[in-house]
Amino acid sequence: MRRRHFSGRVWLAVWVVALGGARAVIAQSASGEGAIEFLSPTGARSSGMGQAVVASAVGSEALWWNPALIARSSREAGFHAVKNPIVDADASGAILIPVQRVGTFALGARYFNEATIPATDSSGEIQTGTFTVTATIVSAAFASPITNRLALGLTYKLLSRSLNCTGVCTQHGVSRTFAVDVGAQYLIAKDSSVALGFALTNAGPKLQVHDASQADPLPVRADFGVSLVPHLDQLPKEARVRAAIDLVTRVSGGYTPGLRAGAELAWLERYQARAGYIANGPFGSGATFGLGFSTGKLQIDLARVLSNTVSAADAPSYLSLRYLF
C-alpha cells in the first residue's frame, strides 16, 4: 500500500490518542500551541522543589530550566527519567564541560516514546500494523559568568517528532522545529545566599506539520524566580535550608500566570529532603516532594509530583543521577 504524509487533522487525532485523553496541557498550553514536549518538566531535584528552580537549578538539570545556571557548574554527566502516565517513556541525558576563564559548554538529548496505537485499513476495522509516536530534543548550551555576580546563558534546542510504522500503514510523517532559551542569574549576596533568576524559553518558529493548514506557535514562557538560603541560628551548623519561588507567564496570549514554590533541607550536604507546590502549571496544580543522597561524586534524587489532573496512583515520578568527574 502506498505511503503518504500525514494531514494536519490526522496528526491532531494521533496526538490526542497519544496523550490518552489526559487533561494534560491545560493551564500553560491551552490555545493551539505546538511542541508541547518543550513544556514537559524533568529533573528530580527540580521537581521535588515544586519546580521553583529558575534561580537555583544545578548541574545537568539546569540545562532544561535556565541555561545561565550552568555557568559555574562542575564537570558533570547527568541522566534523568520520568515515569509519566501521559507518555510511555521519557528519558534525557546531558554532559557539562566547564572551560576555565571561558564558561561552561553543555550537550543534552531527550527522548519521548509518546504512544503506540493501532493502524487499520480503510474500513477502520482490520488492524494492519502499529504507529509509534516518538519525539527527540537535542540541545546545545553555553553559559558564562559576566561578573562575579551575573551569569548569562543560551541554549539551542532541535525538536523532531515522528510517526514510526510497523506493518502496513497508510500515513507517516515527521515534523521539526527549533527553539532558543536565554537565561540570567544574579547573585544579590556575595555568598550566593540570595539569587535572582530569569529565563525566556522556547522562542522559535512555529511548528509546521506536513499538509497542515496552519502552523502552531511554540509555547514561549518567561520565568522569574528568587532563591534564598537563610542563615538560621536555630539550625545546627550541619543543616542548610533553601527556599525558592518562581512566577511563570505566557509571553503571548492571556492566561493566569503559574506559580511555583519549594524548599530543600540538607544535612551535611549529603542528605536532602524537598517539598513544594505548583499552581496553574502545564500539567495542573499540586504538591511535590522528593529525596536526595550524595556520595560526593554521585548525586541520586527521587521525586513525585501530584496533580489535580491525574489520580495519585498515576502521579509522575522522577529519577536523576548526576556524576561529577
If pLDDT is split at 50, 70 and 90, which confidence band does 209 have?
low
**Torsional class of 16: left (φ above 0), alpha (ψ -120 to 50), beta (otherwise):** alpha
180 pLDDT higher than 90: yes
CA distances from 122 to 2, 5, 11, 61, 174 (A): 12, 16, 17, 45, 22
- Asked whether the predicted pLDDT for residue 139 surpasses 90, the reply is yes
Which carries the bigger pLDDT value, residue 325 or residue 310?
325
- Residue 216 lies in domain: 4-324
pLDDT at 170: 64
Percent of the chain exceeding pLDDT 70 equals 87
> Taking residues 171-175, what's their average pLDDT?
74
The amino acid occupying position 225 is G
**Mean pLDDT (the chain, rounded):** 87
Residue 325 in contact with residue 299, Cβ under 8 Å? no
- Total domain count, the chain: 1
Q: Please, which contacts does 271-276 make with residues 24 or more away whose CB atoms are closer than 8 Å?
A: 272/45, 272/301, 274/45, 274/48, 274/49, 274/303, 275/48, 275/49, 275/50, 276/48, 276/49, 276/50, 276/51, 276/52
Query: Domain of 307: which CATH number?
Result: 2.40.160.60
Give the per-residue pLDDT at 13: 44
Per-residue pLDDT at 125: 78
pLDDT at 282 over 90: no
**Model confidence pLDDT, tens digit, residues 299-316:** 999 999 999 988 888 999
Distance between CA atoms of residues 151 and 66, nearest Å: 11
How far apart CA 13 and CA 88 sit, in angstroms, is: 18
Q: What is the model's pTM? A: 0.87
- Report residue 213's pLDDT band, with 50, 70 and 90 as the boundaries: low
Checking if the pLDDT of 260 tops 90, the result is yes
Q: Poorest-confidence range of 115-129, 139-153, 222-236?
A: 115-129
Residue 85 pLDDT level (bands cut at 50, 70, 90): confident
For 240-291, give the DSSP string: EEEEEEEEEEESSS--PPEEEEEEEEEETTTEEEEEEEEEEETTEEEEEEEE
Does 29 score more than 80 pLDDT?
A: no
Better pLDDT: 239 or 129: 239
